[in-house]
């Protein structure tokens, strides 16, 4: 028996003579098999993780990273939908877009619609979350009920609301007429059209955000509320002094996701007014940036300039992301989780043992 | 002592003995809360009801000044007309295929990668994870131009495959699974499986997957919904094989818009997700409350 046997079996070795017998051959075979299995096990251990993550990275490189980088390549060329790649033009496309009133108009519309949707949405969502945060009957029913709009797809939402906002026969103008008020040109005037589009966004997302905020509110320790109540703080006072400060990180998260989503708004303005041949209203009253980008690329065939718009929008999103990171970083630094890593030695220990060090729930950091 | 008496007469409510008993975790809120929630519920559901009212009426309903509350008797006529204008079942089938394939792919690959990042040790793990998190901020929507060029080059435009490809994996899915698994599988369990001689994939299958099941369910739900509701990309790359959303939008693009038909269509396109919501609404709620969908 060879000495390299991974698992020697002394008893057998002592009994066997050194002549090759059928048993010995079988044993050697088993041993080789074992060694192979051992090797396979080691390779398995070492390389399997890469096998597990590679589908994601390969596909992501193909459909996420490559298009983004290639967008940049297209943006520095004079690229046409039909004739393909033209001359290298450097940053000319960017310059052209920065000088284009249509680009700025689209940015203005995007931010206007975003603000009109984000602010009321956040206020109402927080309020509804506070209502749900009480010990209400039929919790699950109410939680589910606020989520109904979320399962209506944006296309359907837009169709429903664009019917309701119809200037001649829509529900809203009919109602205004019945109340002897002036009807509003929802699809022609700039501000009303932004309001109408913001309403669609709000309707679909308010309940959803209320649930995220509700989760944060439930992570606030009950004792805090109780001791404040003993000290005589009423419900409203407790809401402003305890609940709101505690959910700030989640609030920032909600704001940021709303911003990223809001900057990419497309379906609602695209389908708002079917009779307009120009996407985003006859005078581009509500043409958002992604809609402008789409129009530029697929109606006018100017891939180069459309790609420049895509990259500028991407940069805006990155900037907002970085701001988010900085703000939430500042806020999260008060949580005990990250502190010891930044402050070495004795000082860290002191902070760790400090009773308020662990006040903030890590669940709120998301 | 007199001071205390004075205070108690001035602000009797605040230091009334037993006041703190009023605040407890199981105190029921008053009617105001339910009133507000009910108002919100009506606001959430009325637009859907409105689409049903319009979708079941003739065009005459538009002349009524007050919000129409009762459905008319035209619903099935209008449904028939929707069937006439779009191939409803084919587009429904397209949507189902696209959403299911995307969901299967995203959940499978996210679970695999999430498990590796959460529980396995390998070189470059930290760096690669940071990369995944960084890409969370990249909106794939902005890569539509090269993506479109790619599909055209490959001759895939117009096919269901072209619709699926851009979302077969998501950085969010990987991150979400990793976050869930890192806390929900004890390292000892994996070690025990290894000691018992299980291969890596065996460990994944017998320890990782069962532990990941709840998170996989939530991720499936959200991925399916996102894929189902997508409009921009399917409209762009494959208008020839429309998904339900694209077909729905085409209902409206006629020169003369018949809103009753459009509303019926909107309702019909909503029913599949409403059914899903009735079946899995609780999971959807818990998923959102766990911070499941972040962008």
Instruction: For A47-102, write each residue's pLDDT tens digit.
Output: 888 989 999 999 998 888 889 888 998 888 888 777 777 778 888 889 889 999 99
Mutate to test the interface with A, among B140, B285, B290 (most CBs of A within 10 A): B285
Which residue numbers in chain B have pLDDT < 50? 1-21, 294-295
- What does each C-alpha distance from A247 to A215, A225, A363 come to in angstroms? 9, 14, 10
Quote the DSSP letter at residue A77: B
Distance CA A155, CA B270 (A): 10
Chain A residue with the nearest C-alpha to that of B121: A49
Measure in Å the smallest separation between the Cα of B214 and chain A Cα atoms: 18
Chain B residue with the nearest C-alpha to that of A216: B289
Q: What is the 3-state secondary structure (H, E, C) of chain B?
A: CHHHHHHHHHCCCCCCCCHHHHCCCCCCCCHHHHHHHHHHHHHHHHHHHHHHHHHCCCHHHHHCCCCCCCCCCCHHHHHHHHHHHCCHHHHHHHHHHHHHHHHHHHHHHHHHHHHHHHHCCCCCHHHHHHHHHHHCCCCHHHHHHHHHHHHHHHCCCCCHHHHHHHHCCCHHHHHHHHHHHHHHCCHHHHHHHHHCCCCHHHHHHHHHHHHHHHHHHHHHHHHHHHHHHCCHHHHHHCCCCCCHHHHHHHHHCCCCCCHHHHHHHHHHHHHHHHHHHHHHHHHHHHHHHCCCCCC
Distance CA A266, CA A294 (A): 9
- Using an 8 Å CB-CB cutoff, list chain A residues near B254: 274
pTM: 0.82
pLDDT at residue A207 greater than cutoff 80: yes
CB pair distance less than 8 Å for A212 and B167: no
Share of chain A above pLDDT 70, in %: 84
Q: Which residues make beta-bridge pairs with A77?
A: A88
CB pair distance less than 8 Å for A156 and B266: yes
CB pair distance less than 8 Å for B232 and A53: no
At B106 the pLDDT is 96
Mutate to test the interface with B, among A67, A126, A200, A288 (most CBs of B within 10 A): A67
Nearest to B146 among A53, A71, A143 (CB): A71
Put simply, whether A253 touches B (Cβ < 8 Å) is yes
At A312 the pLDDT is 94
Put simply, whether A261 touches B (Cβ < 8 Å) is yes
Quote the DSSP letter at residue A297: I
Distance CA A319, CA A310 (A): 14
At B169 the pLDDT is 92
Measure in Å the smallest separation between the Cα of A170 and chain B Cα atoms: 7
Round to the nearest angstrom and report the end-to-end CA distance of chain A: 61
Chain B residue with the nearest C-alpha to that of A134: B29
CB pair distance less than 8 Å for A134 and B277: no
Mutate to test the interface with A, among B288, B290, B292, B294 (most CBs of A within 10 A): B288
- Using an 8 Å CB-CB cutoff, list chain B residues near A314: 138-139, 142
Provide the ipTM.
0.85
pLDDT at residue A361 greater than cutoff 90: no
Put simply, whether A6 touches B (Cβ < 8 Å) is no
Q: When comparing pLDDT for A204 and A86, which is higher?
A: A204
Q: Which residues make beta-bridge pairs with A302?
A: A80
Round to the nearest angstrom and report the end-to-end CA distance of chain B: 59
Q: Work out the number of other CB atoms within 10 angstroms of the CB of residue A244.
A: 14
The b/e string for A261-284 (b: 16+ C-beta within 10 A; e otherwise) is bbbbbbbbbbbbbbebeebbbeeb
pLDDT, chain A, mean: 81
pLDDT at residue A4 greater than cutoff 50: no
Distance CA A188, CA A272 (A): 11
At A20 the pLDDT is 65
Q: When comparing pLDDT for B17 and A182, which is higher?
A: A182
Residue among A333, A63, A139 nearest B141 (CA): A63
Distance CA B91, CA A132 (A): 38
Nearest to A134 among B29, B169, B254 (CB): B29
Alpha-helical segments (H) within chain A: 10-15, 22-60, 66-75, 92-99, 101-132, 139-145, 154-164, 171-178, 190-218, 222-230, 235-238, 244-246, 248-263, 267-272, 289-294, 303-332, 339-342, 346-353
CB A293 within 8 A of CB A313: yes
Distance CA A81, CA B144 (A): 13
Measure in Å the smallest separation between the Cα of A266 and chain B Cα atoms: 7
CB pair distance less than 8 Å for B147 and A313: no
Return the axis-axis angle of helices B31-55 and B75-85, rounded to nearest 10°: 60
Burial class (CB within 10 angstroms; exposed 0-12, middle 13-18, buried 19+) of B252: buried
CB B234 within 8 A of CB B243: yes
pLDDT category of residue A141 using cuts at 50, 70 and 90: very high
At B295 the pLDDT is 40
CB pair distance less than 8 Å for B273 and A169: no
- Is residue A360 helix, strand or coil? coil
Residue among B257, B168, B250, B179 nearest B218 (CA): B179
CB pair distance less than 8 Å for B169 and A156: no
pLDDT at residue A341 greater than cutoff 60: no
pLDDT in tens, B58-79: 776 666 667 677 777 788 888 8
CB pair distance less than 8 Å for B138 and A59: no
Distance CA A11, CA A153 (A): 73
At A104 the pLDDT is 95
CB pair distance less than 8 Å for B54 and A163: yes
pLDDT in tens, B7-23: 444 444 444 444 444 55
At B9 the pLDDT is 47
CB pair distance less than 8 Å for B113 and A52: yes
CB B159 within 8 A of CB A324: no
- Is residue A88 helix, strand or coil? strand
CB pair distance less than 8 Å for B266 and A49: no
- Using an 8 Å CB-CB cutoff, list chain A residues near B274: 151
- Using an 8 Å CB-CB cutoff, list chain B residues near A151: 225, 270, 273-274, 276-277, 284
- Using an 8 Å CB-CB cutoff, list chain B residues near A153: 228-229, 231, 245, 269-270, 273
Burial class (CB within 10 angstroms; exposed 0-12, middle 13-18, buried 19+) of A60: buried
CB pair distance less than 8 Å for B288 and A208: yes
At B255 the pLDDT is 60
CB B109 within 8 A of CB B169: yes
Distance CA A143, CA B221 (A): 17
pLDDT in tens, A255-291: 888 888 888 999 999 999 877 888 888 889 999 999 9
């Amino acid at each position: 028996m060879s000495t390299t046997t991974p698992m020697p079996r002394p008893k057998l070795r002592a009994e066997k003579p050194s002549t090759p017998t059928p048993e010995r051959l079988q044993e050697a075979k088993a041993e080789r098999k074992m060694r192979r299995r051992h090797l396979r096990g080691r390779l398995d251990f070492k390389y399997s993780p890469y096998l597990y993550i590679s589908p994601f990275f390969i596909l992501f490189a193909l459909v996420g990273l490559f298009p983004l980088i290639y967008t940049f390549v297209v943006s520095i060329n004079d690229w046409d939908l039909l004739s393909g790649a033209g001359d290298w033009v450097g940053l000319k496309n960017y310059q052209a877009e920065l000088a284009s009133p249509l680009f700025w108009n689209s940015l203005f519309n995007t931010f206007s619609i975003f603000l009109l949707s984000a602010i009321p949405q956040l206020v109402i969502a927080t309020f509804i979350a506070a209502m749900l945060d009480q010990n209400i009957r039929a919790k699950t029913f109410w939680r589910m009920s606020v989520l109904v709009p979320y399962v209506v797809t944006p296309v359907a939402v837009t169709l429903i609301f664009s019917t309701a906002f119809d200037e001649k026969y829509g529900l809203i103008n009919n109602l205004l007429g019945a109340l002897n008020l002036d009807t509003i040109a929802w699809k022609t005037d700039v501000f009303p059209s932004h309001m109408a589009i913001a309403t669609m966004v709000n309707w679909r997302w308010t309940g959803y955000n209320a649930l995220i905020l509700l989760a944060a509110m439930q992570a606030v320790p009950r004792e805090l509320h109780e001791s404040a109540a003993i000290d005589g703080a009423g419900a409203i006072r407790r809401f402003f002094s305890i609940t709101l400060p505690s959910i700030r990180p989640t609030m920032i998260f909600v704001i940021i996701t709303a911003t990223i989503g809001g900057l990419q708004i497309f379906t609602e303005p695209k389908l708002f007014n079917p009779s307009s041949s120009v996407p985003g209203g006859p005078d581009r009253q509500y043409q958002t940036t992604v809609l402008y980008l789409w129009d530029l690329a697929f109606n006018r065939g100017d891939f180069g300039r459309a790609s420049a718009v895509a990259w500028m929008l991407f940069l805006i999103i990155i900037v907002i992301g970085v701001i988010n990171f900085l703000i939430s970083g500042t806020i999260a630094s008060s949580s005990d989780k990250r502190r010891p890593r930044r402050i070495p030695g004795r000082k860290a220990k002191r902070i760790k043992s400090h009773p308020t060090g662990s006040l903030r729930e890590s669940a709120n950091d998301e | 002592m007199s001071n205390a008496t004075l205070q108690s007469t001035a602000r009797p409510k605040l230091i009334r003995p037993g006041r703190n008993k009023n605040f407890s975790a199981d105190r029921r809120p008053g009617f105001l809360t339910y009133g507000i929630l009910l108002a919100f519920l009506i606001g959430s559901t009325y637009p859907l009801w409105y689409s049903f009212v319009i979708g079941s009426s003739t065009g005459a309903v538009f002349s009524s000044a007050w919000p129409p509350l009762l459905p008319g008797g035209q619903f099935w006529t209008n449904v028939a007309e929707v069937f006439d204008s779009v191939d409803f079942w084919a587009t429904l089938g397209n949507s189902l295929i696209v959403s299911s394939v995307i969901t299967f792919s995203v959940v499978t690959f996210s679970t695999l990668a999430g498990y590796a990042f959460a529980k396995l040790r390998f070189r470059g793990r930290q760096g690669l994870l940071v990369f995944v998190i960084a890409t969370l901020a990249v909106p794939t929507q902005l890569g539509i131009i090269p993506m479109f060029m790619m599909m055209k080059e490959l001759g895939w435009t117009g096919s269901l495959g072209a619709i699926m490809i851009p979302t077969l994996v998501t950085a969010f899915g990987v991150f979400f699974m990793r976050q869930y698994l890192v806390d929900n599988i004890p390292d000892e369990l994996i070690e025990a499986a290894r000691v018992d001689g299980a291969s890596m994939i065996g460990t994944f299958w017998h320890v990782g997957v069962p532990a990941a099941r709840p998170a996989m369910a939530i991720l499936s739900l959200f991925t399916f919904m996102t894929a189902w509701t997508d409009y921009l990309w399917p409209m762009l790359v494959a208008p020839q094989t429309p998904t339900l959303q694209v077909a729905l939008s085409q209902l409206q693009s006629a020169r003369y818009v018949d809103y009753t038909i459009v509303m019926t269509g909107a309702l019909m396109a909503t029913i599949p997700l409403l059914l899903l919501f009735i079946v899995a609404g609780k999971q959807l709620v818990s998923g959102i409350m766990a911070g499941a969908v972040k962008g």
